[in-house]
A and B are shown apart, each in its own frame.
Chain A
Amino acid sequence: MFREITLGQYYAVDSVIHRLDPRVKLFGTLIYIMSVFMAGGLSGYLIVTMVYMLVMKLSKVPFSFALRGLKSVVWIVLMTFICNAFFYTGGTPFIKYGVISISAAGIKYGVAMSVRLILLVLGSSILTLTTTPNELTYGLEKAFGFLIKFHVPVQEIALMMSIALRFIPILIEETDKIMKAQASRGTDFDTGSIIKRVKNYIPIIIPLFISAFRRAGDLALAMESRCYRTGYQRTKMYPLKYTKADGKGYLVLMVYLLLFTLAKCTLLYTGNSGFYTM
């Protein structure tokens, strides 16, 4: 019943972006987000959109697949637009009714905010589209490794993340089995009121939790019997290594950041509102 669920949104193809070190991609995502926040107005968003399209092209991920990630935020985008368009008080309103005031500036601001949100979601999804969850975990572990000096249990958090990821397919399979066992006792998942339907899932959730706790206990025991201790420097079977492509990646990102910042400062200084309107 549940087999068809794919894990995360990783899209498995071989591309330049897929082969990059996860740390480069993390850094790239950070730079991209910064540039989205710096940009304003039409030209700024156009540049960011072009950069996004270019990276998407390089990643060989179909655009339609990436668009699916927008589904979950469509309501937030809509709310952002409505809040800004209806309640913006800066401009001269052409419709005013109680607290609601619609002005040209408000609509413009609402559109700009929605575009910004869409660009943020689409852009950062490139990271998860081209990096497997495990790579991402290793990348984060390395990138935040310096936090160990501040007594943050980085390795432990990374381990927790990879264990959680490892267990997702197991739990999905288990859910399938439990659902079948309960369906054999007449559980009806599809009819009745919402409250009744939620109640019908209790016989699924309880065995699932019990089994998850049991598995967690077993795993902890197995790790301890192989002398796992926290707080030691651990080596990796496949340690992350930078390649030439990663160096180039960093270079491109730095140049992009520099150019973007320069462009923004110049335009700010000259007061050109084409680039910066808000």
Chain B
Amino acid sequence: MIEFENVSYGYEDNKKVLESITFKIEDGDFVGIIGHTGSGKSTLIQMMNGLLKPDSGTIRFRGENIFGNGYNLRELKFRVGVVFQYPDYQLFETTVIKDVMYGPMNMGMTQNEAMDAAKQALSLVGISEDKFNKSPFELSGGEKKKVSIAGILAMNPEVLVLDEPVAGLEPEGRRNLLKLLEKIRNENHITIVMVSHSMENVADYCNHVLVMNEGKLELNGTPEEVFRQADKLEKMGLSSTVAYYIMRELEKRGIVHDDRSITMKEAYGCLEKLL
């Protein structure tokens, strides 16, 4: 669906921001991108909807080169929706509903169509109707985040890209938001790409993990493939999941054998069998 082929970009302190990145995202994937601050994650996701143009290499969306001649980059932004980390950079209207309608109106929908799309998106993210006519600036941090996601969802994109969607949310808000993303993926058939700092979140929800380090794509595979390479992750200043470390320790002490769990749920299942 989205393909990066040998994508390189920019220089900062004599180092490439992105260096020859190649990967492929399939329809219906839930992709997690992990990596240190400054590893090139944000640059990477800004390329997915054509905000940044690579210096070399090709990016394809559904087989078409997005920087090819005559490709409609503006329309691409409606098909690949990017939600930035801070909702404050996006909310500007007088009411929540008007703000969510902004994207659909830009697509050329009529007032009524945009209103319907906005209402649908807001109810999907769980913003109740009594808040539709509130000012977006009166909302709590978590609600602002949801409204900013609804603002993108209302454009009915095929891919939803989110930069650290759960940063700054309390544990319950995080869980709700991640469950919501899972629901959007399963029920609305939208491919999801999420940048995250939490190994647990990525292991729990994603089926495809990309690990970035100093502008290079170091690991690319299923969560199991990636999180079992704890040494490599640690060398990059990252880590594997807590469940992985617990199970390795138990394996060392001879309590479990041939275990492949990387999430708490899997570990729990394995340990339950022992009891």
Q: Which residues of A contact B (CB under 8 A)?
A: 174, 177-178, 180-188, 202-203, 206-207, 210-211, 214
Q: How far is the CB of B248 from chain A (nearest CB, A)?
A: 40
By a CB distance below 8 angstroms, the chain B residues around A184 are: 49, 51, 77, 81-84, 152
Question: Are A211 and B88 in touch, CB under 8 angstroms?
Answer: yes
CB of B89 within 8 Å of the partner chain? yes
By a CB distance below 8 angstroms, the chain A residues around B155 are: 185-186
Question: Are A180 and B103 in touch, CB under 8 angstroms?
Answer: no
Interface of B is mostly: helix
Question: Are A186 and B103 in touch, CB under 8 angstroms?
Answer: yes
By a CB distance below 8 angstroms, the chain B residues around A185 are: 77, 90, 102-103, 106, 151-152, 155
Pick the contact of B77: A186, A202, A203, A210 (CB < 8 A).
Answer: A186
- The proximity string for B residues 260-272 relative to A, scoring 1 for CB distances below 8 Å and 0 otherwise, is 0000000000000
4 further interface pairs, Cβ-Cβ under 8 Å (given A184-B152, A185-B152)? A184-B51, A185-B106, A207-B91, A210-B88
* Interface size, B (range): 20 to 34
- B46's closest neighbor in chain A, by CB? A180
Interface of A is mostly: helix
Expressed in whole angstroms, the Cα–Cα distance for A242 and B48 within the complex equals 56
- A204's closest neighbor in chain B, by CB? B92
Expressed in whole angstroms, the Cα–Cα distance for A214 and B151 within the complex equals 23
8 contacts across the A-B interface (CB closer than 8 A): A174-B89, A177-B84, A180-B84, A181-B89, A184-B77, A185-B90, A186-B103, A186-B106
By a CB distance below 8 angstroms, the chain A residues around B102 are: 185, 203
Expressed in whole angstroms, the Cα–Cα distance for A250 and B88 within the complex equals 51
Expressed in whole angstroms, the Cα–Cα distance for A33 and B165 within the complex equals 57
Pick the contact of B51: A183, A203, A210 (CB < 8 A).
Answer: A183
CB of B74 within 8 Å of the partner chain? yes
Which among A183, A185, A187, A211 has the greatest number of chain B C-beta atoms within 10 A? Answer: A185
Q: How far is the CB of B250 from chain A (nearest CB, A)?
A: 45
Question: Are A206 and B92 in touch, CB under 8 angstroms?
Answer: yes
- The proximity string for B residues 85-109 relative to A, scoring 1 for CB distances below 8 Å and 0 otherwise, is 0101111100000000011001100
Question: Are A186 and B74 in touch, CB under 8 angstroms?
Answer: yes
CB of B78 within 8 Å of the partner chain? yes
Nearest 6 CB-CB pairings of A with B: A186-B106, A206-B92, A185-B103, A181-B90, A181-B89, A184-B82
CB of B137 within 8 Å of the partner chain? yes
By a CB distance below 8 angstroms, the chain A residues around B88 are: 207, 210-211, 214
Q: How far is the CB of B163 from chain A (nearest CB, A)?
A: 10
Expressed in whole angstroms, the Cα–Cα distance for A178 and B151 within the complex equals 14
Q: How far is the CB of A45 from chain B (nearest CB, A)?
A: 47
By a CB distance below 8 angstroms, the chain B residues around A187 are: 106
Pick the contact of A181: B78, B84, B107, B137 (CB < 8 A).
Answer: B84
Pick the contact of B92: A174, A177, A188, A203 (CB < 8 A).
Answer: A203
Q: How far is the CB of A97 from chain B (nearest CB, A)?
A: 53
Question: Are B92 and A186 in touch, CB under 8 angstroms?
Answer: no
Q: How far is the CB of B123 from chain A (nearest CB, A)?
A: 19
Question: Are A186 and B51 in touch, CB under 8 angstroms?
Answer: no
By a CB distance below 8 angstroms, the chain A residues around B151 are: 185
- The proximity string for B residues 57-89 relative to A, scoring 1 for CB distances below 8 Å and 0 otherwise, is 000000000000000001001100111101011
Q: How far is the CB of B11 from chain A (nearest CB, A)?
A: 13
Expressed in whole angstroms, the Cα–Cα distance for A178 and B106 within the complex equals 16
By a CB distance below 8 angstroms, the chain A residues around B84 are: 177, 180-181, 184
By a CB distance below 8 angstroms, the chain B residues around A181 are: 84, 89-90
Expressed in whole angstroms, the Cα–Cα distance for A30 and B125 within the complex equals 63
Expressed in whole angstroms, the Cα–Cα distance for A206 and B89 within the complex equals 9
- A1's closest neighbor in chain B, by CB? B51
By a CB distance below 8 angstroms, the chain B residues around A186 are: 74, 77-78, 103, 106-107, 155
By a CB distance below 8 angstroms, the chain B residues around A211 are: 88-89
Which among B106, B137, B152 has the greatest number of chain A C-beta atoms within 10 A? Answer: B106
Expressed in whole angstroms, the Cα–Cα distance for A185 and B109 within the complex equals 13
By a CB distance below 8 angstroms, the chain B residues around A207 are: 88-92
By a CB distance below 8 angstroms, the chain A residues around B77 are: 183-186
Q: How far is the CB of A192 from chain B (nearest CB, A)?
A: 12
